[in-house]
Structure 1
Amino acid sequence: MAKLLRFSFIIFSILLYAGCGALQEKSKDKYITDYEIFVKEVRVLHENFTDEEWEECYLKYEEFSVAKKKKHAKYFTESDIKKIDLLEEEYASYLIEQEINDFIESLGKGIKKGIEEIGDFIDETAKDFEEWSNEESDLDSIK
């Protein structure tokens, strides 16, 4: 009877371990599917993201690329790793695109501000010159 109980316990343990492994496999697959959905959403919507949306997006990316990835890493197959690498590269391309666009926009604003300041300087100089010219004319008329 003790042998039967021990045997039953061993069988139960093996089944429990196998069941947990299967759950981890499903969890890993869900992680990859969710990651794919996230990157697809970024692909479709990234051109219209606000700064706040990019911040939320980055936090979500960090969750996928660090915390969740680490949790499931020991269950990844070679195919999973390639798929995840491609997802990370694709996301990074959108992030880089956004950074370049922000830089260009910032540069454009800086140039515009510089042009406005030069214009203001020219206007002020012209006004000063006109006032000086009027003062000279007044002095000439007095002589």
Structure 2
Amino acid sequence: YTHNYSESIQKTVDLIKNADSFYILGLGPFSGFAKTMAYLFSEIGYYCYGIQDKYYLMPEVEEGHNTVVLIGYASAIKDAVVEEIEKYKSRNYKIVMITSEPIGGLECLCDNVIYASEGIVKMGNIVSGIPVLYTFEKIMKELSE
């Protein structure tokens, strides 16, 4: 894995460009975000579906298809994220995690990890999702060029 932001963005862009299908999984604080981001990716020509929680049925993927799932990560939802990654990996999905927090051993389960900031952006007890949002937008910008 590279911890270089630009290289991680480019790897993700390449994965999406070569994908047959593309999803955004939003758990916990990212649930509404998943639908909005999926809509925006679809607007630029990359049909995407936002999955809002772990109770949505996992989309079927045809044999030999290349499928990418982008996941926003926060430590508060770690257990749910691990459970979902294991389900998606068992069906050969490519997993891209976007985070503002260190994820340690979870890197092993992902095909790419984008560290959206050089540490946690905090105000008191609130961890900001702005770096993760910006990263999704950066990926969209690169895809639309």
TM-score range relative to shorter protein: under 0.3
Q: Write 1 or 2 for the structure with the bigger share of strand.
A: 2
Q: Write 1 or 2 for the structure with the bigger share of helix.
A: 1
What is the TM-score when the length of structure 2 is the normalising length?
0.22
What is the TM-score when the length of structure 1 is the normalising length?
0.22
Structure with more relative contact order (C-alpha pairs < 8 Å, separation 6 or more): 1
